[in-house]
Amino acid sequence: MNAISDIGRQDAVLHVDGLSVAFPTPQGLHTVARDISFTLRPGQVVALVGESGSGKSVTARSLIGLAGANAGISARRLTLGTRNLLNLAPSDWRSLRGREIGMVLQDALVALDPLRTIGQEIAEALSAHRWGNRRSRIQRVHDLLKEAGMPDPALRARQRPHELSGGQRQRALIANALALSPPLLIADEPTTALDPTVQTQVLDRLLTLRRNGIGILLISHDLGFVARLADHILVLQHGNVVEQGNAARLLNAPSHPYTRALLEADPLRRPARAIQPARTASPLLSARNLSVRRPGPDGMLRDLVSSVSLDLHPGRTLGLIGESGSGKTTTSRIITGLMRPDQGSVIFKGQAWNGPERSITERSRRPLRRHMAMIYQDPLGSFDPRWTVHDILADAVEAAGRPVTGETVTALLDHVRLSAAIAGRRPRTLSGGQRQRVAIARAIASDPSVIVCDEPVSALDLSVQAQILDLLDALQRELGIAYLLISHDMGVIRRMCDDVAVMQAGRIVEQGPAEIVLRTPSHPFTRALLEAAHALSAPADSHHIVETRAI
């Protein structure tokens, strides 16, 4: 060892040399991460990047002793500051966690105990290490929340995760990990599946922490996000590091094909949708002045959606954008006829499809039902877990009134580029991308003219997202289907949509052809959404200067 690397080790927060993680299986030892080495210094961000199953999360968890009781961890060297992390007793790990290493998980809605107030949760991080007394802990909780940029910390401390906005929740989660100012923070997919505005807030917070000298180990499948933050990147595939190095160099000149594939998967780096020929005169589905009011938690009536009007044209895609709670899902429920509006009407194929009139019932909708299909964010929840793929598709074909043969199911699988061999498997044994393909096959089984896609890819890895979006695109050209695409992701919208409607607080604030709305947005909210999306996916060269907006 030469002198320079020894000095480097001295001030390193975390030094990992030759780390491998393996689990015993009936077939023998299964290695999920192999020979990983990196050094993390104060004020630096090291990122582990890869798709789900690449071993990045388990690597991160092995650094905090939470990879599982039967995980076999080996390394040439594994030190936190001056402390050896190999072969620690459970009680030693416990005293390290929270005090020397903080960890932030994906979504604060599930990563903080939903039954406890965030104040109780953060205070537990203090009391677990016998920090202070009850009174001083409450004070410290308020200070931490204030430091995290939480308005009115004393009030927020008494609220539970579901009572907070997405950004506030995520701030609370980070404050919980930093309660005892650990020098190392592990952030495991800290922004995945969050609204872009919340993502920028999290990014902003992490940048501040880095400036304050905290070492951050970032785990993500999103190279665009990583590019904003990381100094050093390791790209993992099947537990192996396929490429690692300085972030700017790696992002500008990736040498491994897998890294390039990950980069190209970022929807904002892909070409926008080509402008389609002008729309036909009559829309396929037309919604006019939809309004729904429901009592809120305080018993007061609240507009869920208000005066929403949309037109869906054959073979075109209409994108519905907005943050969580903006009324996107309510709109889609009315359009699919799952919910009756208080006012307004939906005309589908020239017939009354939904409205407040009692004469419109599910029975009157039934003849048209098979012309409308749906795809959800989480297909697994929409499958009967005991059914095989064949059962799921055969059921959909039958519901559409068509005879079921082996060929119909094979043809459907063929349409979504799945092999016929998958027909005998059950949804749980499929990958996320395969499940979504099966969901798409089920949707097209009735030969629909409209498919409502509610966040169809936001639960998937970026590289899989790109494949699913390509598939939807191809099916539209083959079958002439119209899509209503609901998403919070600007990249997806830009990639897929001909027309765009932007929703905020139950209203459509801007609507028009995608190339106009996305290029020259007129409403400040649309501009904010676009800025947030670009802030997250800007190229690597400017990643030290960031301007983000807290909302």
Partner 1 sequence: MTALSRRTWPFGLIARKIARRLANAVLVLLAAASLAFAALHLTPGDPVTAILGGGTQTPSPETIAAARHEYGLDRPISVQFGLYIARLASGNLGQSFSQHMPVADVLRAQGPATLALMASALLTAWLLAVLSIVFAVGRRTTAFARTTETFFAGLPQFWLAILLLWALGFELQIFPPAGNRGLRSLVLPTLSLAIPLGGFLARVMRDSFDLALHEPFILTARARGTPEWLIRLRHALRHALLPGISLSAWAVGALVGNGVVIEMIFSRRGIGRELFLAVMTHDMPLVSGIILFIALVYILAGIATDALYVVVDPRLKATRS
Interface ranges with partner 1 (CB under 8 A): 64, 66, 94-99, 101-103, 105-107, 110-117, 119-121, 123-125, 128-129, 134, 138, 141, 157-158, 160, 162, 173, 176-177, 179, 297-299
Of 57 and 463, the one with the shorter C-beta distance to partner 1 is: 57
* Minimum distance of partner 1 from residue 145's CB (angstroms): 11
CA distance 462 to 10: 37
Angle between helices 524-537 and 196-211 (to 10 degrees): 50
Sequence-ordered list of residues with C-beta below 8 angstroms from that of 28, at least 6 positions apart, any chain: none
* Minimum distance of partner 1 from residue 144's CB (angstroms): 13
Of 179, 199, 180, 201, whose CA–CA distance to 191 is shortest?
Answer: 199
CA distance 219 to 325: 28
Sequence-ordered list of residues with C-beta below 8 angstroms from that of 179, at least 6 positions apart, any chain: 98, 102, 122, 125, 126, 131, 140, 141, 144
* Minimum distance of partner 1 from residue 47's CB (angstroms): 19
Sequence-ordered list of residues with C-beta below 8 angstroms from that of 91, at least 6 positions apart, any chain: none
Instruction: Give the distance from CA 11 to its chain's centroid.
Output: 35
Of 94 and 371, the one with the shorter C-beta distance to partner 1 is: 94
Separation in Å, CA 47 to CA 186, 435, 459, 464? 10, 28, 21, 20
Of 127 and 408, the one with the shorter C-beta distance to partner 1 is: 127
Of 158 and 527, the one with the shorter C-beta distance to partner 1 is: 158
Of 170 and 446, the one with the shorter C-beta distance to partner 1 is: 170
* Minimum distance of partner 1 from residue 124's CB (angstroms): 6
Of 184 and 452, the one with the shorter C-beta distance to partner 1 is: 184
* Minimum distance of partner 1 from residue 408's CB (angstroms): 38
CA distance 422 to 424: 6
Of 184 and 540, the one with the shorter C-beta distance to partner 1 is: 184
Angle between helices 134-147 and 166-177 (to 10 degrees): 130
* Minimum distance of partner 1 from residue 431's CB (angstroms): 20
* Minimum distance of partner 1 from residue 423's CB (angstroms): 30
- SS3 letters across 126-144: HHCCCCCCHHHHHHHHHHH
In terms of C-beta distances under 8 Å and separation of at least 24 residues, what long-range contacts does 356-360 make, across chains too?
Answer: none
Of 134 and 366, the one with the shorter C-beta distance to partner 1 is: 134
* Minimum distance of partner 1 from residue 226's CB (angstroms): 21
